[in-house]
Structure 1
Amino acid sequence: MKIIGIDPGLRNMGWGVIETDGPRLRHVANGIIHSDGGDLGPRLLVLFRGLSQVIATHAPDAAAVEQTFVNKDAVGTLKLGQARGIALLAPAEAGLEIGEYAPNAVKKAVVGVGHAGKEQVEHMVRFMLPGVELAGPDAADALAIAICHAHHLQGRSLRIKASA
C-alpha cells in the first residue's frame, strides 16, 4: 500500500510517499510545493495543482494530513486553514481515504514522545526510512505523517483480525 503524507502550509506544503508491506516501510518520494507571496487565490491554485500532480504521479492508496492548530494571529490561522483545505481537497478529489492526525500524535507515533522536537522527528524518519534524501523539514514532517498513518492502519488491521 502506498500512503501520501501531507504537511499543510501556505508557503511550503510538504509531501512524502511511503510504501508499506506489513510492518516494513519503504520511502518512495518526498518534496515541497512552494507558493510565492501575492494574492491568496493564485497561491492556493499552485498548491492544489502541485499536490494533484504529485498524487497523479505516485498513485497513493491513502492519504494522511496533519491537523493544524491556532497560529499567533487570526489572519495567519485563516490562511493556514485554507492551505489545509487544499491538502484535504486534492486527495479527496482523487478518491483517497484521508486520515487526519494531530501533531502530537504524529510525533508520538514516530519518536515515541508527543512533544518531540523537529530534529528528533527528522532523525527518526531517517532511521525508519534508511537512505532517504529529504527535500527539507516540511517533507520530513510529511513522511512522519505518512508513517503515523501506516502505523494506524496496521493497528486497525490487527484489531480487525483479532475480533474475527
Structure 2
Amino acid sequence: MIVTSVFKNGDFIPNKYACEGQDINPELAISNIPDGAKTIAIICDDPDAPIGIFVHWVLWNYPVTDSTMKIPEGLQKVEKLPNGAMQGYNDFGRIGYNGPCPPKGHGVHHYHFKVYAVNTFLELKGKVTKKDLEKALSGKIIAQAELIGLYERR
C-alpha cells in the first residue's frame, strides 16, 4: 500500500509538489512490503498528457529497511542518492522528480505514483528512462501498489 500525507488517493496534489510550486516529490509512505523485497522502485507518470504518457519520475534501488517505510519529501535531483538509490530521466529530460505541469486549460490530469517491491538490486547504467526500468523490473516485482493524484493548471 502507498499513501502520502499531502493528498488522498484520487484527490488533488498541492501546488507545492507541482511546477507552479516547489516542484519537489511528496513524501510517500509504503506499507505491507513483503519479505524478500530488497529494494523499491517508483514510476510516476501522467497518461492524460497531449503527447501520450508523460513520465515525471523514475527511481530504483531504494533500499527496503522494514515492511513499512517512507520515501522522504524533496529528494535531491541527482542520479545517485546518498542511500544508494538511483534516479533516471523523466520526460522533461531531467534526472529525478518533476511534478505535475499539464498545459494550461487542458483540464484535470491524473498522476500515477506506482511503487514496486523488487527482489533484487537492479544493475542499470547510462541515461535510464522509464522504459529501461520497466524492462529491468520484468520478473523481479514481488508486490506493487499505486496512488493517483490529480492536478490542473488554469
With normalisation by structure 2, the TM-score equals: 0.25
Would you tell me which structure has more strand in proportion to its own residues?
2
With normalisation by structure 1, the TM-score equals 0.24
Q: Which has the larger share of helix?
A: 1
